[in-house]
Chain A
Amino acid sequence: MDIFLQQLINGLVLGSVYALVALGYTMVYGILELINFAHGEITMIGAMVALAVIGALTLAAPGAPGVLLLGAGLAVAIPVCVALGLVIERVAYRPLRHAPRLAPLITAIGVSIVLQNVAMMIWGKQYIPFPGILPQGRHEILGATVSDVQVAILVLAVIIMLMLILVVQKTRLGRAMRATAQSRQVASLMGVDVNRVIAATFAIGSALAAVAGVMVSAYYGLAHYYMGFLLGLKAFSAAVLGGIGNLGGAMLGGLLLGLIESFGAGYIGDLTGGFLGSNYQDVFAFFVLIAVLVFRPSGLLGARGAERA
């Protein structure tokens, strides 16, 4: 029972991070029908910038409280990622708004490769350890162990997602975002500056990515110029799993993917009689993803044809 509970906790924590990143993919897709493949790299830049800030501050002010350092890291990483997202939209996507759909996909992949290489030039190829500034507390719950970092990630992710729902459902900007997603042309006829709404969408998605990037590096204790690739791929898969374009779907898909991966890691050895080890967790997760999509091509909460009309 304790293994089950442990994997459940690990899966929820990991899944909540996937969900934050998946939201960025799904919001952009919902409005532009564009897969922003550079989104994973934005999480990486978020982690790298935060680590650089934390590292510099640790040297400048030794003994400063860890939470304060982390907050400073986020306070720099979020605006950097927001600016980056805005620039990418303006330079790589907006000029191609009326181009065939493959064109912005190619620029997205191009931007992603550029960001990886820029990060490699700045921070090198080596793994960068997350400094030991965070509380290392561990708590026993019914035989499972939960760390302070895990609790913080889960709580913060849930708060952010609730705030996002509130913004999208209740505010003027949120209404404009939903209207633009349903019909860009009609939204503009209502007086919505569609370009600004699209920019705002990229900004929000990038802010979530920055936070998620810091969470991942805190969780695994390291950051790396290539970390955005697999994280982005998984989060994108989570968005597709939940039904791309659907906010609730991205949250559900993210949590499910985290759980599948975690339970896969926990049980895959037993299931295959030791033939496959827990390092096959990603294979297992993507196998489940494929199986779900075969039966529900539009994802778990994806819009059916009629509703999209």
Chain B
Amino acid sequence: MSALLAVNQLSVAYGGIQAVRELNLTVASGEMVCLIGANGAGKTTTLKALSGLLAPRSGSVHFDGQPIARLPPHEIARRGLALVPEGRGMFPRMSVAENLMMGAYARNDRAAIARDLDQVYALLPRLTERRAQLAGLLSGGEQQMLALGRAMMARPRLLLLDEPSMGLAPLMVQAVFDIIRKIAADGVAVLLIEQNAHLALKTCSRGYVLENGVVAASGAAADLAADPAVRQAYLGE
């Protein structure tokens, strides 16, 4: 199987606690996969380990066939794996335009960067109006859009999203998820973390349920959404 991302028996400790245990997970090229679970189940820890912000205790991570588990974050980012972190990770004292350009930091194809910038502005018209504004002064929804647009400027092959709906009003959540679907439709694979399991399973084709750092269930999103145990624990039934 030629998965774009292949995680094998990954264990990660965080603050002395074994937060993720022997996790197996794959994301195929262009696929949308979600990782759902309660607060503290190890979702964010998993994404941090995949992007190099946390060093795994054991196990392997392969991206495009290459091992990346012990690379520093900037090396992993340069290979085409972009994390939109929890809390959006703005550079608050930089303008919207500068934040977007930071997304393209590792690239040097100027003409293509300029084209991608136009595309991002076309995808996110709200940012176009605010391109000179400081990112720290944007609303939460606008910041989430900027974080997505900035990740796109890196031309990633896999986008890791940590709770993109967090703290947003329902209408804004819809807008943000519309953008995520559009990004995926362009062929970018997505690994999405969400507490809103309903929305996550509706958006993605496949899902994993994480409980106390262990995968408790996995499969097609529709099957998970129909699973009585998942429905009771995560879909509020």
Contacts and interface: CB of A to CB of B under 8 A. Distances in A.
Interface of A: 172, 175-176, 178-179, 182-183, 185-194, 303, 307, 309
Interface in B42-66: 51-53
Contacts of B200: none
B93 A307 contact: yes
A183 B77 contact: no
B102 interface: yes
Nearest to A182: B91
A80 to B, nearest CB: 30
Contacts of B82: 189
B106 A191 contact: yes
A307 B92 contact: yes
Interface string B101-117: 11101100000000000
A99 B235 CA distance: 43
25 contacts: A178-B94, A179-B91, A179-B102, A182-B91, A183-B89, A183-B90, A185-B53, A186-B85, A188-B73, A188-B77, A189-B53, A189-B74, A189-B77, A189-B89, A190-B77, A190-B103, A190-B154, A191-B74, A191-B105, A191-B106, A192-B74, A192-B102, A303-B93, A307-B136, A309-B92
A191 B107 CA distance: 9
B78 interface: yes
B83 interface: yes
Nearest to A172: B105
B92 A190 contact: no
B94 A190 contact: no
Contact of B83 (A178, A183, A189): A189
Contacts, number: 72
A29 B73 CA distance: 23
Nearest to A180: B91
Contacts of A178: 91, 93-94
B55 to A, nearest CB: 12
A45 B92 CA distance: 37
Contact of A186 (B52, B89, B98, B154): B89
B77 A191 contact: yes
Nearest to A308: B92
A121 to B, nearest CB: 39
A260 B91 CA distance: 36
B67 interface: no
A182 B93 contact: yes
A189 B85 contact: yes
B187 interface: no
Residue among A176, A179, A186, A194 with the highest chain B CB neighbour number at 10 A: A186
B167 interface: no
Residue among B52, B91, B103, B150 with the highest chain A CB neighbour number at 10 A: B91
A179 B154 CA distance: 16
Contacts of B136: 307, 309
B72 interface: yes
Residue among B51, B92, B102 with the highest chain A CB neighbour number at 10 A: B102
Given A178-B93, A186-B90, 14 more contacts: A175-B98, A175-B102, A178-B94, A179-B94, A183-B89, A186-B91, A187-B91, A187-B102, A189-B73, A189-B85, A190-B103, A190-B106, A303-B93, A309-B136
Contacts of A172: 105
